[in-house]
Amino acid sequence: MLFFLNHIAMFLSLLAIEVVFALGALAHNSTFQNPILPGFHPDPSCIFVPDWDDTFFCASSSFLVFPGIPIHASRDLIDWRLVSNALSRPEQEPGINTAKRATSGIWASTIRYRDGIFYVVTSLVYDDYPKNASNRFDSFIITSTNPYSSASWSNPLHFNFTGYDTSPFWDDDGQLYIPGTHAWEITPGIQMVTLDLDTGTIGPYINIWNGTGASSPEGPHIYKKDNYYYLLIAEGGTGSRHMATIGRSKNITGPYESNPHNPVLTNANTTHYFQNTGHADLFQDADDNWWAVALSVRQGPDGSYPMGRETILTPVTWNEGEWPVFTNASGHMNGWYLDPEDPIEEGEGSLVDSSVHLTFPPGSKLAPEFVHWRFPVNGSYVVSPAGYPNTLQLTSSLSNLTGADGRSAEPEGQTFIGRRQVHSFFTFSTIFDISTLHSQEAEVGVTVFVDQLHHWDLGIVLGSPSTPPVTTGYSGPSTSTNSTTLVPYLRLRGITTVPNFIFPDIAIVPMPAVWSNKITLEIRASNITHYTFSAGPVGSQGQMQDIGFAPGLGLTWGFTGALLGVYATSNGGAGEFKTYVSDWIYNGLGQVVD
C-alpha cells in the first residue's frame, strides 16, 4: 500500500508541475496538427484581421507555378481554405513566363493589412542571372480590398529594390519601410529602404543587421512592441541548418542587439521528422496571444521530402519587454486556446487538405487549386468542349515536361495541369480517352512533377509494334521507324538530379489489346518513400496493373513541392492532337507527422 501511495504522490506532483507549466506558458491549451498548409506552401506569411470577422490570412511562395501566391484563410488556425490567388493574370508579372531555372520565380511573399487594404510585397527572381546582375530582381507590391477574389488583386507597383524577401513595415508616423536581402554572398546582411507608395521611389539602402553570423541572412520581418523594434530573420540557408533568429533595437535603423537565446526556432542537429525549419512570421490572435508560422519539411528515413517545404504553426510566449519564446515545432502541437469555428465558406477554393472528385461539368471553370508550370497556352485547356461533356480537353504541346534542356521556358508552352500533393498517403487517378492519338511518340499521362528536371511520368505513348518507344534523350522523340502501324505502350519514365542526373525508363509495357480507348491511370503513395504507378481499362478495377515504382528522393530538390497532374505532348514530333480527361479523383488517405 505504501508503494502504491508513493507512486500516487509522485504522479500528482508531476501532474502539478505539468499544469503549472501549461498555465504559465499557454494558459488554455488547444491541440492542432502540423503542417497547417501541407505540401508546396513555403515561406509563409500570416496576419490576423479583426476587420474581416476575426480572420487569419496567409500567403506563400509560388516560384514558377501559375496562378501564384495562394492566399489561404481560417478563423481557427486549423481549417484553411484557398480563397484566392494574388497572381492570377499573366499581365501582372509577365516575367514568370520567361524566367529560366526552377528556382526562379516568385520568392517569399509578405502579406499585411492596413487601413482597409491588403498588401502583398514580393519579388520575382531570375535565379539564372549572375548574383550581381542589377536586373536579377523585380520587387513589387500588389493590393486588394477583397482577398476572397483573385480578380481583386491589383497590377503591381514595381520598386527598384535590388534584392528579395522584401517585407513592409509602417512605423507610427506612417513611414513605410522595406527590409529585404541583397544577394547575400555579395552584400551580406539585411538591407532596408523607405518606399513612397505613390511613386514607387525608394530611399537609400541601410544595412540594419547581419544576423548572428550564420549564412544567408534573409526573410526579414519587423514588428514594434514595448518601444522596441524587433527584426525576425532566417539564417543558415533553407536546408538542414535553417533557423529563425531575432534582434531588437530602440531605433528602426539599428543597431540591433541579438537575442542571447538565438536561434528562436530550428530543428537543426536533431532527428525530428520536421526538418529545415525556419523563415518565420509572427502575428497575434483576438486575445493578443502570439503565434508564428514557418516553413518546414517532413523528411523520410531515406532523406526524401517530395512534398517540399510546407507551412507549420507554433505558439509564442512574448511577455512585456522580453524576448519572444517560440515553442519547438512538431507534428502534434498544443497552442493558445481558440474557440472552434466552422470552416470559412467565402472565397474561390476548397479546404487545403480536401479530397476531390472532379467531373468537369458544362459551364464550370477550373478551380483555383489547378496550376501550370509558367503560363498556360490559351485554348489548351477546355472544360466540356462540344461533343465531349464532362471532360477536360487538353491540346498537346510540342514539348514534354522536361522540354529542351530541363530549365528553359518553352516558347510554345507545355501542356500540363496539376494540383498540389497535400497528403502523405493518397491515390490520384483520372481517365484518358486515347482514341485521338495517331502519331509516333504522341503521349498522354499522369505525373508527379516538381520541376522540369524532377518528375516521374506514367504515359500512354504510341510506338512501333516491333520497336518499343525507348528514348535516347528525355527531351526529344525516340528514333523514328518506317512502320505505319502504331500501338500504345505504357511507359513509366522520369528525370532527376538526385542523387545523380539520370533520365531512366523504369518500365515500358505493351498495353493489352483487349483494353479500350478509355484508360484509367493512377498514382498512389502507399508509403512515405515511393510512388506507385498503375493503369487499367475503365470499368474494370480488378484489371488495374502496377506498372512500376519511383522514389520520392528523386523529387527532393529545390524550393517547391510535388504537383499531381496530367499532360499531353507530341514529344517533339509532328501531329498536334487533343485528348480528353475525365473523373479526376484525388483521395487523401492520411498524414504522417512523426
Q: How far apart are CA 472 and CA 359, in angstroms?
A: 37
Give the list of residues 6+ apart from residue 280 with CB closer than 8 angstroms, or none: 219, 221, 232, 234, 244, 264, 265, 292, 293, 294, 326
Q: How far apart are CA 369 and CA 358, in angstroms?
A: 12
Report which of 167, 196, 164, 169 is spatially closest to residue 182, judged by C-alpha positions: 164
HEC sequence for 284-321: ECCCCCEEEEEEEEECCCCCCCCCCCEEEEEEEECCCC
Q: What is the dihedral of CA 550, 553, 559, 565, to 10 degrees?
A: 10
Q: How far apart are CA 179 and CA 211, in angstroms?
A: 13
- Indicate the SS3 state at residue 92: helix
Termini Cα distance of the chain: 39
Q: Of 43, 127, 165, 451, which is the active-site residue?
A: 43
Paired with 315 in beta bridges are 291
Residue tagged 479526376 (cell numbers): 584
98: left (phi over 0), alpha (psi -120 to 50) or beta: alpha
Residue 43 among the catalytic residues: yes
Please classify residue 282 by burial: count the beta carbons closer than 10 Å to its beta carbon, then call 0-12 exposed, 13-18 middle and 19+ buried.
Answer: buried
Across the beta sheet with 81-87, the strand order is 45-49, 55-59, 68-74, 81-87
Across the beta sheet with 563-569, the strand order is 416-420, 563-569, 443-451, 454-463, 487-495, 505-510
Q: What cell was used for 13? A: 506532483
69 contacts 111 by C-beta, under 8 angstroms: no
Read out DSSP for 446-496? EEEEEETTEEEEEEEEEE-SSS----SSTTSPPPP-S-S--EEEEEEEEEB
- Indicate the SS3 state at residue 512: coil
- Residue 469's CB is within 10 A of a number of other CB atoms, namely 24
Give the list of residues 6+ apart from residue 80 with CB closer than 8 angstroms, or none: 36, 37, 58, 72, 73, 74, 351, 352
Residue 165 among the catalytic residues: no
- Indicate the SS3 state at residue 105: strand
Residue tagged 526529344 (cell numbers): 476
Q: Of 76, 127, 218, 310, which is the active-site residue?
A: 218
List residues with catalytic annotation: 43, 218
